[in-house]
Amino acid sequence: MKFWIHGTPSLTLRLTISIGAGISLLLLSFGWLIERSINNHFVDQDVDELNAARKSIESTIELVAAGESIEFLKNRFSSAISGHHNAEFLVADTNGTVIYATPGGNLTRLLTDIPPTRVIDDNTVSLWTSNGQTYRSAVFEAISPTSQIQSPLKIALATEIDFHLHYLESFHAYLRWLTILACLIAIVTTWLAVHQGHAPIRRISRQINAITSEQLHLRLETQGVPSELMPLAAAFNNMIDRLEDGFQRLSNFSGDIAHELRTPITNLMTQTQVALSKARTATEYREILYSGLEEYERMTKMVSDMLFLAKADNQLIEPELTDIYLVNELLELADFFEAWSEARQVAIVVAGNKEITVTADRAMLRRALSNLISNAVRYTPAGNSVQAVVQTDKDGVTVSITNPGPTIPPEHLGHLFKRFYRPDPSRRRNGEGAGLGLAIVKSIVQAHGGKIKATSTNGVTVFQIRFNTVDPHPYQHTTD
C-alpha cells in the first residue's frame, strides 16, 4: 500500500487520518466527560460532607445554654463532628479570636481568604492548601449562644481531599494511556477497513491496466462490484466499447484507404512502365497521359472526400446557412443529370410544394442530394424513373429519393452509410467511386441536425432525409 503517490497523500491515508482523528477526538471527549463526571461526583461528596459537618456544628451551638462558659462551649465543639474523620473546623469571634480549632488543623487563614457564605454548594466551596494538604473548604457564620462571645461566630470548615486528588491523578494517567491505546487500535482498524474497502478499486485498477490496444475486447467485471462503483465500471465499459468500435473503424478505414489507393497507383505504375518499354508516338503518349489523368482525378476526389469526412468527424465544418427551396434545388439537379440519365434511359421526377424551404448550406446540401440522385440513377433499370419527393408536416421536412432496382438485403442496410462499404464486393472498382458518397451524405445531414435512413423492399429502395424545422441544431455530428 502506497501512502504517497507523486507527493500527494493516498486516499487510504487521507481516510485513515480523518476517520482516526475523528475517533480519537471522540475518545478524548468521552474520557474528558468521564473524568469530569468523577470529579463532580467527588465535589458533591465533599459538599455533602461539609454540609453534614455544618449541621452538626450548628446543632451543637443551638444546644448550648445562654449562660454557659466558653470552656463548656469548647468541650461541646470537640465532639461536634465526631464521625466526620476528614473534616476540620475552626470557630472564631468577630475580633478573630479563635474559640475552638480541631487538633492539627491550621484554618486561621481561611477566615481572611474566603468570604462567608450562606449556602455551601459546589459553587461556593474553595480549594485550599495547607501544610502540603489540599482541602475543600467554606466559611459560614452563626449566632453566639452565650453573651461571653460576641456575635456572630465565624466558622471555617474544611475537608481533606488528597485521597480524591490522588485517585483522579491515577485515573487521569490510566485514562490517558487507555485513550492512546484505543486511538491506535481505532487508527489500525480504520486503516484495515479502508484498505479492505478499497479492494474493489484495486481490482478494477488491475483490470484496467490489463486493457491494451491489442486487448480492447476485455471489460471490467461488474459482478461483486460495490453499488457505489457500479456506475463507474459501467461507464468505463461503455467507453471501451466506443474505443473498440472507433479503433476497429479506424483500422478498417486505413485498410480500405490502402486498398482503394493501391489500384490507381498500380495502374499509373503499369502505364508508366509500358510507356517506357519502347519508343512511342506523341499520340500514344497523349493517350497514356489522359489515362493517368483519370487516375489522378479519381485519387484527388478520394482524398477530397476523406478530408471532408475527417473535418465532419471533428466538427470543423461550418455551414453557411441560408433558406433553400428544396423543390427548385432538386429540379436543378435533375437538369444537371438529365444527359446522363437519358443515356441510361432513366427519368428523374421531382414532386412537392415549391414553397417548402429548409435552412442549410446550399453547397453541402446540393452535394448530398447529388450523391443520392446519382446513386439512384446508377442502380435504376432502363425504362424506369427516380422519384424525388419533398413533403412537410408540423415537425419537419422530409426529402425522399426513391428508385426501383435490386433489393438491398436487410443485413446490408445498416452499413450503407459506412465508408468504403458496398453491398456487392464485385462492384469494388467499375467506375463507381471509392464508396464514400453515402458516408458524406450522412455527415452533411447530421451537420445540419437532420437524420437519414434507407429502406429497401420489393425491388424499391428509398433514401429519406428528415430535417427538424422546430430545432434544427446545426453543426451537430455523430459518428457511426
Do 12-170 and 230-313 share a fold? no
By the 8 A CB rule, do 141 and 90 touch? no
Percent of the chain with pLDDT over 70: 84
- At 254-307, the pLDDT tens digits run 666 776 677 778 888 888 888 888 888 888 888 888 888 888 887 887 777 777
Contacts of 92 (CB under 8 A, 6+ apart): 98, 99, 108, 111, 153, 154, 155, 156
Comparing C-alpha atoms, which of 447, 450, 443, 438 is closest to residue 414? Answer: 438
C-alpha cell at 169: 491523578
Cβ-based neighbour number of residue 322 at 10 Å: 12
Residues 337, 251: Cα–Cα separation, whole Å: 36
Q: To 10 degrees, the CA torsion angle through 173, 177, 180, 186? A: -130
DSSP letter (8 states) at residue 306: H
> What pLDDT is stored for residue 474 in this prediction?
39
pLDDT of residue 447: 83
Sign, Cα dihedral of 74, 77, 82, 88 = negative
DSSP 426: G
What's the confidence (pLDDT) of residue 410?
Answer: 86
Query: What is the arrangement of strands in the sheet containing 385-392, beginning at the earlier edge strand?
Result: 347-351, 385-392, 396-404, 460-468, 451-457
Dihedral sign computed on CA atoms, order 255, 258, 259, 261:
positive
* Fold classification of 230-313 (topology level): Helix Hairpins (1.10.287)
Q: What pTM did the predictor assign?
A: 0.50
First to last CA, the chain: 43
The DSSP 8-state label assigned to residue 255 in this structure reads: H
Q: Write the pLDDT tens digit of every residue in 312-368.
A: 666 667 778 889 999 999 999 999 999 999 999 999 999 999 999 999 888 889 989
Q: Who has greater pLDDT, 478 or 98?
A: 98
- Give the per-residue pLDDT at 107: 82
Instruction: Report the mean per-residue pLDDT for the chain.
Output: 81
**pLDDT for the residue 372:** 93
Quick one: average pLDDT of 75-92?
A: 75
Model pLDDT, residue 131: 78
Question: Tell me: the pLDDT tens digits for 386-436?
Answer: 999 999 988 889 999 999 988 888 888 877 887 776 665 544 444 455 577
- HSE-up of residue 217 (Cα within 13 Å, Cβ side): 1
Mean pLDDT along residues 374-387 = 93
CATH class of 12-170: alpha beta
- pLDDT of 471 > 60? The answer is no
CA 224 to chain CA centroid, nearest Å: 21
> Quick check: helix, strand or coil at residue 170?
helix
CA atoms of 359 and 380, how far apart (whole Å): 30
What is Dmax (Cα atoms) for the chain?
Answer: 166
The architecture that CATH gives domain 321-468 is 2-Layer Sandwich (3.30)
Of the listed ranges 66-70, 95-99, 105-109, 452-456, the one predicted with least confidence: 66-70
The rounded distance, in Å, linking the Cα atoms of 49 and 85 is 10
Question: Nearest-5° angle of CA 216, CA 217, CA 218?
Answer: 90
Q: Where are the domains of the chain?
A: 12-170, 230-313, 321-468
pLDDT value for 83? 62
pLDDT for 382 beyond 90: yes
Q: What pLDDT is stored for residue 470 in this prediction?
A: 43
